């Protein structure tokens, strides 16, 4: 079920009313959330629910056994079962066809084509997200940082919690699971805040991401047919498309969770206002970045050791992160180029130098801050080329067009209306997020504007969403991951 669909517009109020006004006990509310989450996820294909419950069941049993034993070998074995099962399922569904294709390509390159057929495996929606969320539970119980759950309904509701099930934020069990054990009380102020964040997420998804995608998809379909300036424009639009799409999903997820009394972690903190690439990665997809930091980077030794050791760990971290995003060498290249951008800051111990809010206490940034934000944005865009391209060859074709003399010509605009809507949406987003950059999201403005102004803004955004929604809008980009 899509957040930006009529189905969800009916589903959410029904579940909300049942949750607060019919089923008022903690256990029955958890059961309702579990059933609602099953309906939400099963809307795509109910058969994939079997996979989710199998993964959750393995982790529930392994964690329960981990709680009961102190024997190191037994505990290591139980954790290994959880890791192999979860990562094995993820690897089979996500990477089997990729490895078969790569194997074929390698032998063909050396003159010995194999002609192996791919299995044409359909990737279950959200498998990368719920696998990592469930794994965090088993690992934390293994580390004695969390007590194992004794309630299977409560635990399954945590794994399948519908607001963030298919595209995050990837919640830590230590933060989200205890919220299922505590009675929730309806708070109208929290609910209003949730609705505002849902509205903001829908604006970013429908007005910005869906309209930008109309242009980006057309131009990236055949880069060689377009000028350098056109492909540069397409790349910038994709940067805003993926931000509007993914951060929009996170905003809707966080806002929806608030309606039910849950607090999810922040997943984006205005990454395009970053002053270096290290700050960008602290602000982009925070739940995944911190997951890899805590469960991959730090266990490998982090940045403790020789420079060669730090380089190795950083490269592994970014390559694994890139490969997590998709079964294509373009994502590996995307991870590698971000590692190359990131490494100088780590080696010079400057990767944490930009920790505060840019232009804090001031309306406008300084020229130096503006330059730093602009250069960081351009670095991010250069990496986004690999993320968006269908192949490494196409990515270099895009760079070839951008590096040609045609970069200094006027871009080709295929649809003035779509381009105008995209620019309008991006402008509104950048202005509101800059004004509210010290807050959690761009529309969080209670107390900063008088009530009539706030409501005029809300209804204006609703009107823009209705008028500017493109016919081709649809799934969120990260559903494919």
Mark whether 154 and 200 lie in a shared domain: no
Mark whether 22 and 116 lie in a shared domain: yes
Instruction: Please report where in the chains the tokens 């997020």 appear, as a residue.
Output: 433
pLDDT(109) > 80: no
How many domains does the structure of the chain reveal? 2
Mark whether 26 and 100 lie in a shared domain: yes
Mark whether 89 and 28 lie in a shared domain: yes
325 is catalytic: yes
Question: What is the model's pLDDT at position 123?
Answer: 85
pTM of the predicted model as reported, rounded to 2 decimal places: 0.94
Compute the distance between CA of residue 218 and CA of residue 225 in angstroms, rounded to an integer.
11
The residue ranking higher by pLDDT, 354 or 392, is: 392
Question: What is the model's pLDDT at position 472?
Answer: 64
Taking only the tens place, the pLDDT of each residue in 23-63 is: 989 999 999 999 999 999 999 888 899 999 999 999 999 99
Question: What is the model's pLDDT at position 473?
Answer: 64
Residue 322 lies in a domain: no
Looking at 164, 184, 204, the residue that finishes a domain is 184
Looking at residues 301-312, what average pLDDT do you find?
A: 86
- The range of the structural domain enclosing residue 245 comes to 189-275+354-480
Mark whether 146 and 61 lie in a shared domain: yes
CB atoms within 10 A of CB 427: 11
Looking at 158, 184, 210, the residue that finishes a domain is 184
Mark whether 249 and 140 lie in a shared domain: no
Question: What is the model's pLDDT at position 115?
Answer: 76
Residue 136 lies in a domain: yes
Residue 303 lies in a domain: no
Mark whether 48 and 149 lie in a shared domain: yes
Residue 39 lies in a domain: yes
Question: What is the model's pLDDT at position 463?
Answer: 95
Residue 68 lies in a domain: yes
For residue 446, report the phi and psi dihedrals to the nearest 5 degrees: -60, 130
Q: Which of 191, 203, 271 is nearest to 3 (CA)?
A: 203
Looking at residues 342-351, what average pLDDT do you find?
A: 89
Mark whether 53 and 153 lie in a shared domain: yes
Residue 324 lies in a domain: no
Question: What is the model's pLDDT at position 244?
Answer: 96
Residue 304 lies in a domain: no
Residues 150, 183 contacting (CB under 8 angstroms): no
Taking only the tens place, the pLDDT of each residue in 176-222 is: 999 999 999 999 999 999 999 999 999 999 999 999 999 999 999 99
Residue 418 lies in a domain: yes
Mark whether 249 and 102 lie in a shared domain: no
Confidence of residue 447 (pLDDT cuts 50, 70, 90): low
- Mean pLDDT taken over the chain: 92
Which candidate in 112, 226, 285, 325 is catalytic? 325
Question: What is the model's pLDDT at position 378?
Answer: 97
Mark whether 15 and 58 lie in a shared domain: yes
Mark whether 180 and 200 lie in a shared domain: no
Mark whether 162 and 264 lie in a shared domain: no
Looking at 184, 202, 221, the residue that finishes a domain is 184
């Amino acid at each position: 079920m899509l957040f930006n669909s009529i189905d969800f517009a009916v589903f959410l109020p029904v579940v909300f009313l049942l949750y607060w006004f019919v089923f008022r006990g903690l256990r029955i509310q958890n059961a309702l959330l579990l059933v609602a989450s099953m309906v939400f996820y099963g809307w795509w294909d109910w058969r994939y629910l079997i996979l989710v419950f199998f993964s959750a069941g393995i982790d529930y049993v392994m964690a329960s056994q981990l709680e009961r034993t102190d024997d190191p070998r037994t505990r290591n074995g139980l954790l290994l079962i959880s890791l192999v099962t979860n990562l094995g399922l993820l690897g089979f569904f996500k990477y089997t066809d990729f490895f078969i294709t790569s194997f074929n390509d390698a032998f063909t390159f050396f003159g010995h084509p194999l002609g192996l057929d791919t299995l044409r495996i359909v990737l279950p929606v959200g498998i990368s997200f719920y696998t990592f969320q469930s794994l965090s539970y088993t690992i934390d119980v293994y580390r004695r940082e969390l007590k194992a759950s004794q309630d299977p309904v409560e635990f399954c509701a945590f794994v399948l919690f519908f607001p963030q099930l298919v595209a995050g934020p990837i919640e830590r069990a230590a933060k989200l699971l205890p919220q299922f054990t505590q009675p929730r009380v309806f708070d109208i102020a929290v609910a209003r805040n949730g609705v505002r964040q849902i509205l903001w997420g829908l604006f970013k998804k429908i007005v910005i991401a869906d309209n930008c995608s109309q242009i980006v998809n057309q131009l990236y379909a055949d880069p060689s047919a377009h000028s350098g300036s056109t492909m540069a424009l397409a790349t910038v639009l994709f940067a805003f498309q993926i931000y509007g799409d993914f951060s929009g999903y996170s905003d809707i997820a966080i806002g929806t969770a608030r309606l039910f009394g849950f607090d999810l972690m922040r997943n984006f903190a205005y990454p395009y206002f970053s002053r270096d690439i290290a700050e960008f990665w602290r602000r982009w997809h925070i739940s995944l970045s911190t997951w890899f930091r805590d469960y991959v980077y730090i266990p490998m030794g982090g940045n403790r050791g020789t420079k060669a050791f730090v380089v190795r760990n950083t490269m592994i971290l970014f390559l694994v992160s890139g490969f997590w995003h998709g079964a294509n060498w373009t994502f590996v290249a995307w991870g590698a180029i971000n590692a190359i951008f990131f490494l100088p800051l780590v080696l010079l111990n400057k990767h944490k130098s930009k920790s505060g809010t840019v232009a804090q206490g001031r309306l406008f940034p300084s020229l130096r801050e503006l330059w730093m934000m602009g250069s960081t944005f351009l670095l991010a865009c250069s990496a986004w080329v690999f993320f968006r391209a269908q192949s490494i060859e196409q990515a270099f074709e895009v760079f070839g067009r951008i590096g040609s003399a045609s970069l200094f010509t006027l871009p080709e605009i295929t649809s003035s209306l779509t381009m105008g809507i995209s620019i309008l949406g991006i402008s509104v987003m950048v202005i509101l997020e800059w004004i509210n950059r010290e807050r959690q999201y761009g529309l969080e403005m209670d107390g900063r504007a008088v009530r009539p102004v706030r409501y005029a803004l809300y209804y204006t955004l609703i009107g823009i969403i209705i008028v500017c929604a493109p016919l081709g809008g649809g799934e969120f980009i990260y559903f494919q991951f």
